[in-house]
Amino acid sequence: MKFLIFLILLFPCLSFAQIPVKEINGEEVWQGQVIIDGIVAVRNEGKLIIKEGTEVVFKTIDIDNDGIGDSELYVEGEIYVYGSENLPVIFTSDEPIKEPSQWKYVMVNHAKYAYFEYAIFESAFSGLQIHFSKGVVKNCIFRSNVDGFRFSTSNIYVCKNIMTKNKHGIRYEERDSKGIVEYNHIFDNEIGIFPVTACNDNVIFQYNVIEKNGYNIKVGDEQKKDLTFKKNYFGMIFEKDIKKTIYDKSYDKHLPKINFKPFLKKNVLRSNIKCLENGY
């Protein structure tokens, strides 16, 4: 009975009588094609290594009929994703036409460490979430998800990623997070960056290209403090035009202000930019 209660608390939205759960408690290496039908959980003592060119395919199942696929990868131990530029690791659904919410997410929660390089996340409810963990995310692509990348209360380094065609490119509740988000290209999303609540300016957003989104930045209704997004390029050179793409106090007097000055007047993304090796 105690074990059942633990599972319900860990995955409160799922019916464990119906969704299979596979646990990883030691070291496991994935390569080739890996099918996830339900939940794969990397437990506290587990370590998952995913090699370049691997395709992780999440089967489309929706047992609770909430419109969100139930297949997921859940990590509380360690995960290392080592894709390459020519052979990325792909996290995707088993559907021929990729649409948001066909699978749930890669969830890193209270984990020991997470490292993602050259991975593609597509057709998920939330491609990658990192909470209460240390994580590095570099050279990844987040496309056609509800949330591309999401984090809270974590030590993160996010560099040279592409977020496109998501509802939210980056969604976060900063809380006690610290980190740097730099040299990312965030474009063609409904909202480029969505600071929902409890953000205190401890995560630095700099040298990103945030352009051509419905709103480049939109502040959540429960966010109380002004936030800083200096030294980013918004695809425009005039302050008045940039302001129109940022939903903050200028649209709603109850919201805080986004401070985006000084802003960059040209695209800073170049192929020779080097991300920090293991974070900041």
- 97-135 burial, b for 16+ CB within 10 Å, e for fewer? eeebbbbbbbbbbebbbbbbbbbbbbbbbbbbbbbbbbb
- Within 10 angstroms of residue 27's Cβ, the number of other Cβ atoms is 12
Is pLDDT at 11 greater than 70 in this prediction? no
Place of tokens 């969604």: 171
Confidence of residue 2 (pLDDT cuts 50, 70, 90): very low
Predicted local confidence at residue 279, as pLDDT = 82
Residue 16: predicted pLDDT:
45
> What would the pLDDT profile of 21-60 be if each residue is shown by its tens digit?
999 999 999 999 999 999 999 999 999 999 999 999 999 9
Query: Where exactly are the structural domains of the chain?
Result: 20-259
Band (278; pLDDT cuts 50, 70, 90)? confident
Residue 14 above 50 pLDDT?
no
Q: Which of 214, 224, 205 is nearest to 263 (CA)?
A: 205
Average pLDDT value for residue range 246-266: 97
- Weakest mean pLDDT among 13-17, 60-64, 125-129: 13-17
Q: Does residue 259 surpass a pLDDT of 80?
A: yes
Q: What are phi and psi of 24, to 5 degrees?
A: -115, 115
Report the chain's mean pLDDT, rounded to a whole number. Answer: 94
Predicted confidence band at 271 (pLDDT cuts at 50, 70, 90)?
confident
Average of pLDDT values for 231-256? 97
What pLDDT is recorded for position 85? 97
Mean pLDDT, to the nearest integer, of 79-106? 98
Residue-level pLDDT at 238: 97
Quick one: pLDDT at residue 3? 38
Task: State residue 237's pLDDT score.
Answer: 95
